[in-house]
Structure 1
């Protein structure tokens, strides 16, 4: 390897790990659904998946245990090894579009028995973590006529973002068609990363306009679909299934829940540069109570705010559609120089260097 190639590799490695690793990435709290889909697909292709689990403290056989939980770090490593082993560029699309409502287990039952498509969508988004989602997901009202499911990378990890978005949104569409019929088609798809070499696979999968280098990762649908009644509606079964879903979600401690709530609120209002007092008021807490509950989780507000801003900055730099000054405004900075100084404090490098170094 030449010195120039070595320096480029090291710079990219630095950029990819610019934010200090989040300790939550090592908490074993994620159901292994995505890993099961990957290994089953590999089995059908005649590819041995056992080596993907080497050195991670879990085995291929164990992921079929419904009580097993893996950490984000373990799941990320297994997916990275699977991508290297199978060398299928559109692997996420292939996995996602073959998933069914049954792949969602209890959550699938809750969605099937919902009153209408809107309630099914709300149930899916509210409980997505019990299905092993490796992205954070939320509902967004675009305007009076369009709604969307929006996703962003967890812990600022953008290396696997294409695969994770492909799997998530292809499965969303497949399940939506199972719920309301094959005629439902997105208005458009948006992805923050550049168009891959296999971009035509996206058009074939989603059958709509696909935008790369966008500000968000999301699937946009016509709001009229929300009131579409579902043929399997059963209020009793729906309530029972949702209660069991909520019971699984309560495995997270209250302190972790408050951190997630603060992160979500900050992420949705970065441009407004919300202060601790405003966040506490929105969460119906006193400033003192919010500080205390964050401290119980070993976190402080400024650290959370900086991490969310750094993750969003890296995502927008990777998308490549906005100038550094525009990204600063998106993150609540009125002065580009102030944003550059903050970004260097967060990551150890200027934003221009990070943009050139990102994969």
Structure 2
């Protein structure tokens, strides 16, 4: 079950509205019709129905008559628009530390995508995955988030860690995007993301401040601990599983993490039309696809990483998800 709401910093919403206002288009009637009433002095998070946010983006794109709406939004999302997360990035010691920070705490700014990393061919790749079907606003949302993350790295590294390549899994204007990202951009690829050269991601940054970084990190963690209260239980558990680096927590350990009994947690998931097992299956399915497409792990290693004691059980589960065994999955996707 997808969360029917979306939570974003109020400042992000203001940037979308500002793009329309800059075109000389009155916005009062439009926003009133949508039921959007942003406080221009408010810096907190705002929650609105997904359908409202989607329509806000669709309307903004139509008003501007520009398919590059996502790039226009992303250009406005500079490091000082990201609150404590931006401050932590400013104090980071290296590009690698910034990437690790964003991988864990990007959810403080948006719950629409998850960022993950992988290393290959001398580069660190940042991958962005949808947390929900983004439908017909997939392009502006993804372009805006990827560009916003790039802006953070560009400012903090002062050009010492230039991105090498940007990719998106949909059609777009490569020439315009390359002017914005200042590097090669390719559309219609497998996934959204960009790469950083491994030889430069550990270069010490001039603005590094260990004390400030640690203090900012504490605040980020506090905000992360408080954030799940506004989301569904299934989303909270899914996020916990994806953040786990040492196997998936059991139902009992998950319940303890959220200070409820296993029986209460089970009942709340049932109320949402799901179960702990179903959430775990969904996470395993998602990660299995990513691991296979990444090409860095054997099927046996993937099976172990996903918590299967027997590789045969993983093969059966994967065939149930994708109708083909994992060994045939990538071949089945070839044109």
TM-score by length of 2: 0.71
Residue 93 of structure 2: SS of its match in structure 1? coil
Work out the number of aligned pairs and report it.
284
Residue 226 (1) aligns with residue 201 (2): yes
Please state how far the C-alpha of 1:123 moved relative to its aligned partner.
1.7
Q: Which residue of 2 aligns with 1:25?
A: 4
CA distance in 2, matches of 1:167, 1:243: 27
Alignment partner of 2:237 out of 249, 258, 267? 258
Whether the 8 Å contact between 1:280 and 1:287 is mirrored in structure 2 is no
Q: Which residue of 1 aligns with 2:308?
A: none
1:236-247 aligned at under 5 Å gives the runs 236-247=211-222
Alignment partner of 1:135 out of 94, 108, 112? 112
Structure 1: any 5+ residue segments left out of the alignment? 1-20, 266-278, 313-328, 340-359
- Give a deviation string over 1:284-314, Cα, whole Å, max 9, x none: x3466569446534431454367669999xx
Please state how far the C-alpha of 1:117 moved relative to its aligned partner.
1.7
Whether the 8 Å contact between 1:92 and 1:165 is mirrored in structure 2 is yes
1:161-180 aligned at under 5 Å gives the runs 161-180=138-157
Please state how far the C-alpha of 1:111 moved relative to its aligned partner.
0.6
Whether the 8 Å contact between 2:174 and 2:186 is mirrored in structure 1 is no
Alignment partner of 2:89 out of 99, 104, 111? 111
1:145-294 aligned at under 5 Å gives the runs 145-182=122-159, 184-193=161-170, 195-196=171-172, 198-253=173-228, 255=233, 256-262=235-241, 264=242, 282-283=247-248, 285-286=249-250, 292=262, 293=265
- Give a deviation string over 1:256-307, Cα, whole Å, max 9, x none: 4322234x38xxxxxxxxxxxxx99812x34665694465344314543676
Please state how far the C-alpha of 1:214 moved relative to its aligned partner.
2.0
Whether the 8 Å contact between 1:62 and 1:68 is mirrored in structure 2 is no
CA distance in 2, matches of 1:337, 1:123: 37
Residue 201 of structure 2: SS of its match in structure 1? helix
Structure 2: any 5+ residue segments left out of the alignment? 256-261, 288-314, 326-335
Please state how far the C-alpha of 1:178 moved relative to its aligned partner.
1.1
Structure 1 stretch displaced more, 224-233 or 250-259: 250-259
Alignment partner of 1:58 out of 36, 48, 69? 36
CA distance in 2, matches of 1:157, 1:253: 21
TM-score by length of 1: 0.67
Cα-Cα RMSD: 3.5
Please state how far the C-alpha of 1:141 moved relative to its aligned partner.
1.7
CA distance in 2, matches of 1:191, 1:150: 10
Alignment partner of 1:125 out of 96, 103, 107? 103
Distance 1:280 1:235, change over 3 A: closer
Distance 1:155 1:219, change over 3 A: same
Residue 147 of structure 1: SS of its match in structure 2? strand
CA distance in 2, matches of 1:99, 1:143: 29
- Give a deviation string over 1:210-265, Cα, whole Å, max 9, x none: 33222221111112232121212222222222222222222234744322234x38
Considering Cα pairs closer than 8 Å and 6+ residues apart, tell me whether 1 or 2 has the greater RCO.
1
Structure 1 stretch displaced more, 184-193 or 286-295: 286-295
CA distance in 1, matches of 2:45, 2:202: 36
Residue 70 of structure 1: SS of its match in structure 2? strand
Residue 46 of structure 2: SS of its match in structure 1? coil
Residue 333 of structure 1: SS of its match in structure 2? helix
CA distance in 2, matches of 1:280, 1:148: 19
Whether the 8 Å contact between 1:280 and 1:286 is mirrored in structure 2 is no
- Give a deviation string over 1:102-154, Cα, whole Å, max 9, x none: 111221111101112211222223221222x2532223123262112211223
Alignment partner of 2:64 out of 76, 86, 94? 86
CA distance in 1, matches of 2:159, 2:192: 23
